[in-house]
Amino acid sequence: MTSSEAKAAELFTERYRIGPTDVTRRIERTVIGADWGANGYTTLAQAGKLGAELGLGPGVRLLDLGAGQGWPGVYLALTTGCQVILADVPTGGLRSAAARARLEGVAARAVPVSASARRLPFAGGTFDGVAHTDVLC
């Protein structure tokens, strides 16, 4: 892991420590238009655009780098039917993402993996699409 990745991991570990709450969900609905654990700038419409650009649909394999608490990776699995690997360094965010995936009934298609985006633990040619949103590394 690089020093910038380590700094980002530390920042987001603290940020994800609490997990989603009523007040953060309410703010997120106002700011982003949905409450999937977003803390960046990707709105609901922009998440949809990402899915369209990547041609996501059933059977399509997506890698979401810096997946955070599951926005927009888990949302895209639910709305497009794609399979998504949620990769990130802070595990607290991934736990929230996995919980939301279970809640939405997409846990079999939305799988968290603790990994650095610079050295991905996947074989070449594994994915049809790679997405990330405001990743700090």
Partner 1 sequence: MLRDSRRVLRPGGRTAFYTIHPVAGLTPAQRRRAARSGAPAVATARTYEDLLAAAGFTQISRTDCTDGFAATAQAWLSEWDASFAALAALYGEQTVAERQRKRRIQLRAIRDGLLARSLFTATRP
Which residue stretch of 20-28, 96-104, 105-113 sits at the interface with partner 1 (rule: CB under 8 A)? 20-28
Q: Which is nearer to partner 1, 32 or 101 (CB)?
A: 32
- Nearest approach, Cβ of 84 to partner 1 (angstroms)? 13
Cβ(69)–Cβ(136) below 8 Å: no
Query: Of the candidates 35, 37, 50, 69, which one interacts with partner 1 according to CB under 8 A?
Result: 50
Q: Which is nearer to partner 1, 102 or 118 (CB)?
A: 118
Site for partner 1 in 27-46 (CB under 8 A): 27, 30-32, 40-43, 46
N-terminal to C-terminal alpha carbon distance within the chain: 10
Residue for token pair 């709105």: 43
Cβ(16)–Cβ(92) below 8 Å: yes
Q: Which is nearer to partner 1, 18 or 103 (CB)?
A: 18
Told to check if 89 binds partner 1 by CB under 8 A, we report: no
Those residues with Cβ within 8 angstroms of residue 56's Cβ, 6 or more apart along the chain or in another chain: 62, 76, 80, 81, 82, 129
Task: Look up residue 65 and give its DSSP letter.
Answer: E
